[in-house]
Amino acid sequence: MIPWINLIILIIATKLFLYFYILSVSPARMEQRIGERAWRRCTIYRFLAGGFEFVVMANYAVYVFYPLPLGLPERFPWPWWVSIVIGLMIAIPCGYLMLRGLKDAGEESVMVKKEHTLYGGIYERMRHPQAVGEMPLFWAIAFLLHSPFLVLWSFVYVPVFIVMCWVEERDLLIRYGEAYEQYRRRVGLFFPKRQ
């Protein structure tokens, strides 16, 4: 029973992570409807999204002890240390990219404020370095936990992060207008543009 409850919570937490993150990256559009309080509300939504992402990670950990009876192997056929190496090979560069994006975005990563401007640093090379770094971390954690099911489940987060970035792009166009349109032409969405 616990494995199925864990799966249900994982699905619900994933949907709520997506839902609240989408709300958190829509302050300009929300401001058109409810005014200045949209910015504070989006900060609250950002924290809620992070909370549900934490629940997802907790579900990953619970899965190790209570795997689903699906006929999939509970563990990979190779030794756990191989999965750890694979997980670290994903986590180190992706974690760096995510942390670099957090550093260059500053407090806007958490606190949504109207007065923030377009970012510099790594954002001059790609528009969504935090997403590019964060999304593969689900695979890294799945490998570190040595779970074939979790590696497969982690593919769910590819469209989740694409949708989140797409919604954020629409709001940034409202927020920054032509300046953001020029930025989009100059800088790649997920990867640097070839010069």
Task: Give the 3-state DSSP-derived string for 21-81, with helices as H, strands as E and coil as C.
Answer: HHHHCCHHHHHHHHCCHHHHHHHHHHHHHHHHHHHHHHHHHHHHHCCCCCCCCCCCCCCHH
CA distances from 48 to 130, 153, 160 (A): 18, 22, 16
Closest CA to 130 of 90, 170, 97, 92: 97
Q: What is the mean pLDDT of residues 75-80?
A: 96
Q: What is the mean pLDDT of residues 17-31?
A: 94
Q: Give the C-alpha separation, 57 to 138, whole Å.
A: 8
Residue with tokens 């982690």: 154
Question: pLDDT value at position 176?
Answer: 87
Across all residues in the chain, what is the average pLDDT?
Answer: 92
The answer on pLDDT for 178 being more than 80 is: yes
Distance of CA 85 to the CA centre of its chain: 22
Question: pLDDT value at position 188?
Answer: 83
Q: Give the C-alpha separation, 99 to 120, whole Å.
A: 14
Indicate the pLDDT class of residue 70, thresholds 50, 70 and 90.
confident
Question: pLDDT value at position 12?
Answer: 98
Q: Give the C-alpha separation, 82 to 35, whole Å.
A: 52
Q: What is the mean pLDDT of residues 70-82?
A: 93
Q: Give the C-alpha separation, 64 to 143, whole Å.
A: 11
* pTM attached to this predicted model: 0.90
End-to-end Cα distance, the chain = 55
Q: What is the mean pLDDT of residues 57-69?
A: 95
Question: pLDDT value at position 37?
Answer: 92
Q: Give the C-alpha separation, 183 to 156, whole Å.
A: 29
Question: pLDDT value at position 122?
Answer: 85
Whether domain 2-186 has CATH 1.20.120: the reply is yes
Q: What is the mean pLDDT of residues 184-194?
A: 84
Q: Using one digit for the tens of pLDDT, what is the confidence trace for 131-154?
A: 999 999 999 999 999 999 999 999
Q: Give the C-alpha separation, 145 to 159, whole Å.
A: 23
- Hey, what amino acid is at 81? W
Half-sphere exposure of 166 (CA within 13 A, CB side): 7
Indicate the pLDDT class of residue 115, thresholds 50, 70 and 90.
confident
- Cβ atoms of 154 and 87 within 8 Å: the answer is no
Q: What is the mean pLDDT of residues 21-46?
A: 92
Q: What is the mean pLDDT of residues 187-194?
A: 82
Distance of CA 37 to the CA centre of its chain: 25
Question: pLDDT value at position 192?
Answer: 82
Residue 113 tokens, joined: 């404020």
Bridge partners, 188 (sequence order): 126
**Domains of the chain by residue range:** 2-186
The answer on pLDDT for 195 being more than 70 is: no
Question: pLDDT value at position 187?
Answer: 86
Residue 172 tokens, joined: 């940034």
